[in-house]
Structure 1
Amino acid sequence: MAEVLDATARRVIAGGWYVLGPELDGFEREFAAYCGLAHAVGVASGSDALELALRALGLGPGAVVVTVANAGFYATAAILAVGATPRYVDVAAETGLLDPAALGPLLAAGPVAALIVPHLYGRLAPMAEILALCRPRRVAVIEDCAQAHGAQRDGRRAGAFGAVGCFSFYPTKNLGALGDGGALVTDDPALAGRLRALRQYGWGDKYHVELPGGRNSRLDEMQAAFLRVGLPALDGWNRRRRAIADRYRAGLRHPRVVCPPPGGADDVAHLFVLRCAGRDALAAHLAARGIGCAVHYPVPDHRQPGWRDADAGAGTLPVTERRAAEILSLPCYPELEDDEVAAVIDAVNAW
């Protein structure tokens, strides 16, 4: 892969076109086709994708946007950036995904303009139930697909369920660039047109601003070219991630450790997140054995000091808060060798 990437970089440099050129055009076509949609719009990051999705849908001050509080604050940052108001919904204890049973009462309580639903840790959220709640109320559904490239259910991939899907290509993602990058996917040509304008200052014609809220957010030619190299390998990488997750589930036997439930094609195992009441002690034990681990994510959005007043109605989210104190991510990436997986399993069981 290193040799292919090196050759790709040399080709882009020799071509002399570095922004909004043929590599981006090619990647957008290929990624849209992979997702089963008509349009993909490359942008500078997954965070920009979320913000531009909100702007393209006309959301700003006065709009209420619902999301979860356990997915790493990216959605909240986008909501606040456009001047909208976040409202938080609790999650399912077993998966950490948005809980439709908690969403229904929140939607019924007052006007909601949009929902940002993350496919957390690589597993598709329960989209059928979520859409059944949102569509009758005309709540726009934005999918946060930053951890779920290639996940699919009933023949539809992540990003193809709601109005628009938002992706990150940060290097650690299932499909990663060699720097920052992002994209939005949609079947709506008018929405795609607004997104393309907003990623470049809101221009229609060059130097003519036609839409407010635009910015400089473009996926550059080099990163687009690297992503074109990786895209054909994505499904294979996802299979390896699933195999590692399955080995963990089969091998982890510690009585205080709870593994995530098994997944199929709707789970691309971006992260393998277990639960443990003694999480910090387990993390210290693994670190002492030279095994990396992390918490995704330690502080729910409604408990972040800088956003304490962002959602005055948040109150407590009991499942979200309980999970934040228990979750721990084990190594899970395609290059992980079988003997390394076995070493992680042995270390956890020996705790």
Structure 2
Amino acid sequence: MSVPSAVSSTRQVPLLDLHPQNGPLRQEIEAAVARVFDSQRFILGPDHAEFEREMAAHLGIAHAIGCANGSDAILLALMAAGIGPGDEVAVPSFTFFATAGSVSRTGATPVFVDIQPDSFNLDPAALEEAARSHPKLKAVIPVHLFGGSADMDPILDVAARHGWTVIEDAAQSIGATYRGRPCMSLGAMGTLSFFPSKNLGAFGDAGMVVTTDKALADVLSALRVHGSREKYRHEWIGFNSRMDTLQAAILRVKLPHLNGWTEARQRNAARYQQLLAPAGLPISVPQAADWQTYHAWNQFVIRTQRRDELKAFLASQGVGTEIYYPIPLHRQPCYLSLGYAEGALPESERACREVLALPIHSGLLDGDIEYVCDCLVRFFAA
């Protein structure tokens, strides 16, 4: 089957466009920035405290602790759980590097676990297998990837039987639910990223740890300021990871719009599914699993054995795409010393060969999804 020749296209459908989201809020955001400027309180200022309170209320989780970025959020959660040298932490191999990298930063060792092929999330059966072969495991970080929750009940069951701490990485899944329960409320702690491309994005880096446990919240609040609850008195060895007040002020403006933006993503996902399901194309179209009762659709990721050809063709037609992720974590150069051979985690490796994210952001225009789907049809018809 040959690839159709590129044709001149006047339509551009970027993978992500922040202008439709941020543009209408410009005056409100500028006023929020001016408020911080007038206060001259740029670190842990009033807007930061208010954002923590508002996020906790929005998520339905008692405590929200702002920090510098999503990677630090995972590191803070691991430190609060007492994870350190000699420990092992189970993580999915198919995810962004920060999940495993934060484990390594504590001195612990990541144990890579395979994924379910449909949800892209950590496979509870593979986690059980890892538990039998890794007696030093002390925690597990299920990632709620692409906007949909991992299958948490069996994961929580494995963790409870082995006495592990559960830290939910919800960097891509703010607001998502598992069988009607909020993600990040199921384990000991949950982590968020407000990187600009996220459903709720800052104007730079920012992150957050949430928990239902007051004692953990107190430790987390101290760890982000060098382990100090009282100035110049340090109860723990923490580090500097505070969310800038400017970012908190901007995120406060954007938070009331989050549900509407997520609902737009949900409509876009449904439209893709409506158009692609009956088309008979040799692709796998993502669907929410039955436990993913509120899917945030941070990404809409199809699978095809002709991924690289398709990506190149869509680029020629003005359609932006991305590969999340091209290399599984257990095959990253920095982790080859752990001894995971090629083929050790087959579903993670197969996903890395087949996945392609299509545009799904809330700023898509009328006809954009139809155009993308038409491009897919033309590609596979050639």
Q: Name the TM tier (shorter chain).
A: over 0.9
| Alignment of structure 1 residues 291-310 onto 2, 5 Å | 291-310=319-338
Percent same amino acid at aligned positions?
41
The yes-or-no answer on 1:229 pairing with 2:253 is yes
Deviation digits for residues 244-263 of structure 1 (CA, Å, limit 9, x no counterpart): 11111111225211111246
**Residues 1:31 and 2:55 are matched in the alignment:** yes
* Cα offsets for 1:164-210 (capped at 9, x unmatched): 00000001101111110000000111111111111011113112222
- TM-score, normalized by length of structure 1? 0.96
The residue correspondences of 1:86-105 to structure 2 (distance < 5 A) are: 86-105=110-129
Would the aligned equivalents of 2:148 and 2:288 in 1 still touch at CA under 8 Å? no
Q: Which residue of 2 aligns with 1:13?
A: 37
Counterpart check, 1:279 vs 2:307: yes
Higher alpha-carbon Rg:
2
The 3-state SS of whatever aligns with 1:114 is strand
Counterpart amino acid of 2:358? L
> Match for 1:340 among 358, 368, 374?
368
Task: Check the 8 A contact 1:63/1:84 in 2, yes or no.
Answer: yes
Aligned to 2:284: 258
RCO greater where, 1 or 2, for CA within 8 Å and sep 6 or more?
Answer: 2
Residue in 2 that maps onto 1:81: 105
Contact 2:113 2:122 in 1 (8 A): yes
SS in structure 2 opposite 1:257? coil
CA distance in 1, matches of 2:115, 2:180: 25
Name the CA distance, whole Å, in 2 between partners of 1:120 and 1:90.
13
Q: Which moved more, 1:126-135 or 1:302-311?
A: 302-311
Aligned positions of 1:172-191 closer than 5 A: 172-191=197-216
Q: Quick one: which of 222, 236, 240 aligns to 1:211?
A: 236
Q: Work out the CA distance in 1 between the residues paired with 2:370 and 2:50.
A: 40
1:276, 1:326 within 8 Å by CA — same for their partners in 2? Answer: yes
Q: Quickly say closer, same or farther: Cα 1:254–1:350, change in 2 above 3 A.
A: farther
CA distance in 2, matches of 1:69, 1:121: 14
Aligned to 2:85: 61
- 2-structure distance, mates of 1:250, 1:154: 24
Task: Tell me how far apart the structure 2 counterparts of residues 156 and 19 of structure 1 sit (CA, whole Å).
Answer: 33
**Would the aligned equivalents of 1:93 and 1:323 in 2 still touch at CA under 8 Å?**
yes
Is the counterpart of residue 3 in structure 1 residue 27 in structure 2? Answer: yes
The total of aligned residue pairs comes to 350
1:62-211 aligned at under 5 Å gives the runs 62-111=86-135, 112-211=137-236
Across the aligned residues of Structure 1 and Structure 2, the Cα RMSD in angstroms comes to 1.5
Structure 2: state its 5+ residue gaps.
1-24
- Letter paired with 2:148: R
SS where residue 200 of structure 2 aligns?
Answer: coil
Q: What is the alpha-carbon distance in structure 2 between the residues aligned to residue 247 and residue 110 of structure 1?
A: 43
Q: Secondary structure at the match of 1:350?
A: helix
CA deviations over 1:52-97 (Å, ceiling 9, x no partner): 1111111000111000011011111101100001101111111211
Which whole-Å deviations, capped at 9, do the CAs of 1:8-47 have from their partners, x for residues lacking one?
A: 1111111221111111111111111122121110000000
Q: Which amino acid aligns with 2:209?
A: L
Quote how far apart the aligned CAs of 1:155 are.
Answer: 3.7
Partner Cα distance (2:44, 2:262) in 1? 29
**Partners of 2:297 and 2:52 in 1: how far apart?**
24
Q: Structure 1 residue 236: deviation in Å?
A: 1.1
Runs of 4+ residues deviating >4 angstroms: 311-315
